Amino acid sequence: MESGNTECQVIKINDIQYDLDVPESTFTIDLPEGLTWKKVNEVYNPQQTGVTASTSEEVARMFFEACNKEDWVTVGKLYPVVMQSSQAGMIKEMLGGLTINSLGKSFKSGEYPGEFVPYEIRFKSGEIKKMNLALRNDNKEGKWYIDGGF
């Protein structure tokens, strides 16, 4: 790193070791009160989450229609990471009763293994949101999940 006209050493690495067993206790975290840590296979449990559908557009429609009907079981299957979070109540309030203005044709982009479905929705408040819903089914079960875009 340079500071003015002087070089300053920030880090010196003498040895790098790969594939070492690291005890789980090394990565302990003190979570805020009321939060719990879940392993990814507890959140994305294929017996309880994800859906099988032929296209990402079908899944996007299923998701938005479930939000409209406040069918949180279906929403939780498609978007478990959000619906199992501490923000689930706020998300339900925001998404409940929304209406679909339009859903577009899915497309792929860059290195992302899933697909994007363009959408325009109207929240109960009247606010309109236009974005791309990210969906993926690159798991061994081939189940679709919402990955982002909200």
Query: Does a structural domain hold residue 66?
Result: yes
CATH code for the domain in which residue 123 is found:
3.10.450
Burial of 117 (0-12, 13-18, 19+ CB in 10 A): buried
Query: Does a structural domain hold residue 95?
Result: yes
Query: Does a structural domain hold residue 35?
Result: no
Does the pTM surpass 0.85? The reply is no
Q: What does the pLDDT read at residue 20?
A: 85
Query: Does a structural domain hold residue 85?
Result: yes
Domains of the chain: total: 1
Q: What does the pLDDT read at residue 107?
A: 97
Query: Does a structural domain hold residue 56?
Result: yes
Query: Does a structural domain hold residue 111?
Result: yes
Query: Does a structural domain hold residue 31?
Result: no
Q: What does the pLDDT read at residue 39?
A: 75
Per-residue pLDDT of the chain (150 residues; tens, 9 = 90+): 887 888 888 888 999 888 888 888 887 878 788 777 777 677 767 667 778 878 999 999 999 999 999 999 999 989 888 877 878 889 899 999 999 999 999 999 999 999 999 999 999 999 999 999 999 998 888 889 998 887
Q: What does the pLDDT read at residue 35?
A: 72
Query: Does a structural domain hold residue 50?
Result: yes
Q: What does the pLDDT read at residue 82?
A: 81
Range of the structural domain that residue 50 is part of: 44-148
Q: What does the pLDDT read at residue 25?
A: 82
